[in-house]
Every structure is written in structure tokens, then in C-alpha cells.
Amino acid sequence: MELAMAHNLGHMIEDVASGVDDNDDPEVLKSSVSFMMQNQQYEKAVEIMIGLGQTSEALDISEQYNVDLKEEMALKLIPPAAENAN
């Protein structure tokens, strides 16, 4: 991801962002969010924010830039049900 950002390889960044998982370095992911926001790649930025657990920020960006949320992204934004909900 850092290499792709350093050389402004947007297409590679999109591919890498699609494969974000729990083993990725959070600092690199935060840098990639900044990079994507600067390059108007809001959907990918939101996708990474969701992966980082920054759900309220992801929702704010989605609303501000009119990002269409994919179903899988929207499902990750739904808080888990309370165990003792009646």
C-alpha cells in the first residue's frame, strides 16, 4: 500500500484496499484513507474506515460525499444486537 501511494498508483491502491483485513497495519491503512480522500476516492476510503472500525467517520464521509454503500459495507455498519434485547 505504501509503495502504491508513493508512486500514485491509484488502480493498485484500489486493488489493495479491497483486500483489507485484520492483519494489516492500522497506520498504513489510516495513511491510505488520507490518500484516497485527497484523490477523491471516497468509496474506497469509506471501505477502509469501516475495516478500521471507524464507523461514525465512515457514515459522515458517506453522507458528505454521497457515497453509495454496498450491501456488505452497510451490514458492517449495523451495530451488533444487544444480548438481552427483548
pLDDT-derived band at 44, boundaries 50, 70, 90? confident
- In the chain, alpha helices (H): 2-6, 10-18, 26-38, 42-52, 55-64, 71-77
| pLDDT at 41 > cutoff 80 | yes
Smallest CA-to-CA distance from 12 within 32, 42, 34 is with 32
- Contact in structure between 77 and 48 (CB atoms under 8 Å): no
Alpha-carbon Rg of the chain, whole angstroms?
14
Measured at the CA of 16, the angle between CA 59 and CA 37, to 5 degrees, comes to 40
Over residues 5-13, the mean pLDDT reads 59
For residue range 51-69, what is the model confidence (pLDDT) as tens digits? Answer: 888 999 999 999 999 999 8
pLDDT-derived band at 30, boundaries 50, 70, 90? confident
